[in-house]
A and B are shown apart, each in its own frame.
Chain A
Amino acid sequence: MSTEMKRRIFLKRSLAAGSVGIAAATGLLAPQQVLAAWNKTAFEAKDLDSALNALLGSADMSESGEIKVKAPDIAENGTVVPITVETDMSGVESIAVIASNNPVPLVANFVLGPGALSFVSTRIKMGKTGDVIGVVKAGGKLYSAKKEVKVTIGGCGG
């Protein structure tokens, strides 16, 4: 093979590799654009206060008897713990669900649109025994209620 031929092949290959690189780069950028609203800092925070500060702008909350957190007393399987948070308060903007002893305590945040009732139900993972905390944002203030769940088998990792 002549030097000229080798040069041609080399050029072709490097061009091909170049376009793949560009495609990968744009592909990596896309998810961030789509999920502009998702609060990365809050959902990766390792402790409760910084998660709440990042998500709701404050970690200052008062306990309220008007919030009902429904969860089992004992969860045999920590991978699936059914929970429900509801309240009769007015002016509720969002409901956050926290598992206090999880590696990443903030599990979910539900932003209620106009017409939505203050009721959310889902299933969460719990690493070990701890409190499930429902944090309700109403009229710019934070209110919370908690329920302890004993976990027999953990649901995070290992």
Chain B
Amino acid sequence: MANSIKVRASEKDGVTTVKALMTHPMETGARKDSKTGQNIPAHFIQEVVCKHKGNTVMTAEWSGGVSKNPYLSFKFTGAAKGDELELTWTDNKGESDSMTSPIK
């Protein structure tokens, strides 16, 4: 599961823009399997935490209403080029993945 996250963070004029793509089915639990007629069990990312130097910059809490293979973008100040940014997601089954990426 180590490659489920792609992060690009770039710093310009003191503002760091983070763009992240995660690979995840994001099943709401309301969708039906067309073959069996059974509901597909819910499986979605509940929490994404983004840290810079140990400080939490942003926490995203999600329902199953976020699209499959979620995209997330946000901005923050106080980071320099070369700093490391850590992004971690956790889903409703307790699975999680983490990725550390340098800020460019």
Q: Is the CB of A123 within 8 A of B67?
A: yes
Task: Type the 1/0 row for A35-62, where 1 means its CB is closer than 8 Å to any CB of B.
Answer: 1011100011000000000000000000
Asked if B101 CB lies within 8 Å of chain A CBs, one says: no
Residues of B62-77 contacting chain A, CB below 8 A: 62-68, 70-77
A75–B62 Cα gap in the complex (Å)? Answer: 21
What residues of chain B lie closer than 8 Å to A27, measured between beta carbons? Answer: 94
Task: Type the 1/0 row for B27-68, where 1 means its CB is closer than 8 Å to any CB of A.
Answer: 010111000000000000011000010011111111111111
Which of B31, B57, B73 contacts A121, CB < 8 Å?
B73
A104 → chain B closest CB, angstroms? 5
What residues of chain B lie closer than 8 Å to A39, measured between beta carbons? Answer: 61
Chain A residue with minimal CB distance to B50? A113
Q: Is the CB of B68 within 8 A of A38?
A: no
What residues of chain B lie closer than 8 Å to A108, measured between beta carbons? Answer: 60-63, 65-66
Q: Is the CB of B73 within 8 A of A120?
A: yes
A146 → chain B closest CB, angstroms? 16
A73 → chain B closest CB, angstroms? 18
Asked if A150 CB lies within 8 Å of chain B CBs, one says: no
Task: Type the 1/0 row for A91-122, where 1 means its CB is closer than 8 Å to any CB of B.
Answer: 00000000100111011111111111101111
A104–B28 Cα gap in the complex (Å)? Answer: 9
Q: Is the CB of A124 within 8 A of B94?
A: no
Q: Is the CB of A107 within 8 A of B74?
A: no
Asked if A30 CB lies within 8 Å of chain B CBs, one says: yes
Q: Is the CB of A81 within 8 A of B67?
A: yes
Q: How many A residues have CB within 8 A of the partner chain?
A: 42
Q: Is the CB of A116 within 8 A of B65?
A: no
A117–B60 Cα gap in the complex (Å)? Answer: 14
A86–B65 Cα gap in the complex (Å)? Answer: 20
Which of B55, B64, B73 contacts A114, CB < 8 Å?
B55
The 23 sampled A-B contact pairs (Cβ below 8 Å) are: A31-B94, A34-B96, A37-B61, A38-B46, A103-B28, A107-B65, A107-B66, A112-B58, A114-B57, A115-B77, A116-B75, A117-B15, A117-B74, A119-B74, A120-B72, A121-B71, A121-B72, A121-B74, A122-B72, A123-B71, A125-B67, A156-B28, A157-B31
Binding site for A on B (CB under 8 A): 15, 28, 30-32, 46-47, 52, 55-68, 70-79, 90, 92-94, 96
Binding site for B on A (CB under 8 A): 27, 30-31, 34-35, 37-39, 43-44, 79-82, 84, 99, 102-104, 106-117, 119-125, 155-158
